[in-house]
């Protein structure tokens, strides 16, 4: 084998890790023997199988077979209440991880250790005393290395939650005589807007900050972008993901077609627009046993470009595959019945970056969003039978009680069109335009401290108060407690969010 791509714990074990999957797809399409081993998936299953109980077995069975016993080939969709109960059982069971591995706490999306995740040196010191990951590598990775004998091993590091296991994995591989390459979205993001990339690199092998073509010598005029050629890769994990049907990550574009928000960390990303024939060839390359399960396509775009989305719809419609993705709730989605056509073609959920009900607040940060347009998009999507997942942002500098009230009004008045809610608090990315212009927005940016060497965000205050503090109180006291809004909040689980939400069974929405 030429390339073995590894995904370390910890991330939500509901779908194939997107960055690693697309890298494997791009390398495979170019004729390079490539395989992907999801160690995160193996990690969770190893834990669950060592802590089996009747309630755990029932919870896992529901999450993977919501149609019920005896109907395993029929999909009826998740019920929000039962889904919440099943994930609650898993969360409770994961508390036993701390007993097995003192000092470590595991959830369905994160892990906390004796040292802060922003401190690689502290993590290594903690791992030297007790490493909860090496038994996994001994059991799952040793046989793969012996059988496949890869020429190159690539580690995909996408989240800070994967850093402890990545440090452990690098040292484990070195003891085996293997020097891996580490890449992925975490390092790429840190190179643009965070502090500490050089520090992180000192604990890891050489970092690759590119899209993957660097492993083949770099892009060429004939082969300019990794995503121009994709083929379904070989997946080595035999465990099922904790979901009722496969989730396939795919992208219509990279970068953002708006690309003017003052605090966007990805403003400098180059734009790439996928070709419909590339997307079709990729989906047609999927194994028949995968297509037979009607996989759900997760479109990874920071915002689906409406024009490219329209070209994508015939592809998924002809294959009969459902999909979901993130979109800007603007008038572009309302033209020529695009949302209805998307629903007819398989769109089961759209994540909408509504962010606020205050146009003045959105204009201040050049968001290019209009609350009245967002209201129209929410209604149109709901009327088309598409589930809506509204992303709201609180704690922006200069946010007022009037801004909050406008957001509350929007959510309450459009509640019939909002199925799920993501109530987020603003973090200031380092080195974005807003960070450089902080004083113009009444922000007092905290002086750098040497508490943690890795910093993705920069603390700040307005009039001596971190805006996140009153915003958090407003969310709890007013947003979550409002009788019109609370049902959407309760429908939204703590874990297994986006993909599982697209598969929820809801009145007035199309079948999953």
- Write the class of the CATH domain 3-51+96-216: alpha beta
Q: Is the pLDDT of residue 451 over 90?
A: no
pLDDT class for 75, splitting at 50, 70, 90? Answer: low
DSSP assignment letter at 215: G
Query: Domains of the chain: which residue ranges?
Result: 3-51+96-216, 246-427+468-501
Instruction: Quickly list DSSP for 28-88.
Output: HHTT--EEEEEHHHHHHHHHHHHT--HHHHHHHHHHH-TT-TT-TT----B-HHHHHHHHH
Maximum average pLDDT range among 195-209, 264-278, 446-460: 195-209
Structure tokens at 36: 């992907």
Q: How confident is the model at residue 72 (pLDDT cuts 50, 70, 90)?
A: very low
Domains 3-51+96-216 and 246-427+468-501 share a fold: no
Q: Report percent pLDDT > 90 for the chain.
A: 85
pLDDT at residue 70, rounded to an integer: 46
What's the Cα-to-Cα distance from 36 to each of 161, 208, 246, rounded to whole Å? 20, 17, 16
pLDDT computed for residue 434 by the predictor: 95
Q: Which two tokens stand for residue 350?
A: 């759209």
CA atoms within 13 A on the CB side of 350: 33
- Give the domain 246-427+468-501 fold: TIM Barrel (3.20.20)
pLDDT digits (tens, 9 = 90+) for 151-210: 999 999 999 999 999 999 999 999 999 999 999 999 988 888 888 999 999 999 889 988
The pLDDT value recorded for residue 69 is 52
User: Would you state the pLDDT for residue 222?
Assistant: 87
Mean predicted lDDT score pLDDT of the chain: 94
Query: How confident is the model at residue 507, as a pLDDT?
Result: 93
Higher pLDDT pick, 171 / 69:
171
Nearest Cα neighbor of 490 from 477, 499, 481 is 481
Say if pTM beats, i.e. exceeds, 0.85.
Answer: yes
């Amino acid at each position: 084998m030429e390339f073995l791509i590894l995904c370390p714990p910890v991330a939500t074990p509901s779908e194939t890790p997107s960055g690693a999957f697309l890298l494997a797809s791009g390398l495979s399409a170019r004729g390079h023997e490539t395989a992907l081993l999801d160690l995160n998936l193996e990690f969770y299953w190893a834990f669950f199988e060592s802590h089996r109980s009747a309630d755990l077995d029932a919870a896992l069975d529901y999450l993977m077979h919501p149609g019920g016993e005896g109907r395993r080939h029929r999909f009826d969709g998740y019920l929000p209440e039962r889904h919440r109960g099943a994930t609650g059982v898993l969360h409770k069971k994961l508390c036993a991880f701390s007993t097995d591995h003192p000092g470590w706490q595991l959830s369905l999306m994160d892990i906390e250790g004796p040292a802060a995740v922003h401190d690689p040196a502290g993590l290594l010191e903690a791992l030297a005393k007790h490493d909860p990951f090496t038994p996994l590598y001994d059991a799952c990775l040793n046989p793969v290395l012996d059988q496949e004998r890869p020429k190159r091993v690539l580690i995909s590091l996408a989240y800070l939650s994967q850093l402890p296991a990545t440090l452990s994995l690098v040292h484990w591989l070195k003891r085996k005589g293997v020097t891996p390459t580490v890449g992925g979205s975490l390092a790429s993001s840190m190179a643009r807007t965070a502090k500490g990339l050089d520090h992180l690199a000192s604990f890891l092998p050489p970092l690759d900050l590119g899209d993957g073509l660097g492993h083949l010598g770099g892009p060429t005029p004939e082969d300019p972008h990794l995503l121009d050629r994709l083929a379904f890769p070989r997946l080595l994990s035999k465990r099922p993901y904790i979901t009722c049907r496969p989730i396939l990550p795919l992208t219509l574009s990279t970068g953002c077609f708006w690309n003017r928000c003052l605090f966007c960390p990805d403003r400098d990303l180059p734009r790439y627009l996928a070709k419909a024939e590339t997307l079709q060839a990729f989906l047609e390359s999927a194994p028949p046993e995968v297509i037979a399960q009607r996989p759900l396509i997760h479109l990874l775009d920071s915002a689906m470009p409406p024009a490219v989305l329209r070209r994508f719809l015939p592809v998924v419609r002809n294959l009969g595959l459902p999909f979901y993705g993130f979109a800007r709730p603007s008038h572009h989605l309302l033209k020529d019945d695009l949302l209805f056509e998307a629903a007819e073609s398989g769109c089961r959920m759209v994540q909408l970056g509504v962010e606020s009900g205050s146009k003045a607040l959105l204009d201040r940060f050049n968001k290019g969003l209009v609350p009245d347009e967002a209201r129209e998009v929410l209604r149109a999507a709901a009327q088309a039978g598409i589930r809506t997942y509204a992303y709201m942002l609180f704690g922006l500098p200069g946010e007022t009680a009037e801004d909050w009230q406008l957001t509350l009004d929007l959510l309450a008045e459009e509640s019939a069109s909002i199925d799920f809610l993501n109530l987020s608090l603003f973090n200031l990315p380092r080195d974005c335009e807003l960070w450089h212009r902080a004083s113009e927005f009444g922000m007092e940016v905290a002086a750098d401290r040497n508490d943690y060497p890795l910093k993705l965000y920069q603390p700040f205050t307005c009039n001596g108060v971190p805006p996140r503090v009153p915003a958090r109180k407003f969310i709890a006291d007013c947003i979550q407690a409002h009788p019109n809004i609370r049902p959407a909040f309760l429908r939204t689980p703590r874990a297994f969010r986006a993909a599982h939400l697209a598969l929820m069974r809801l009145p007035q929405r199309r079948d999953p």
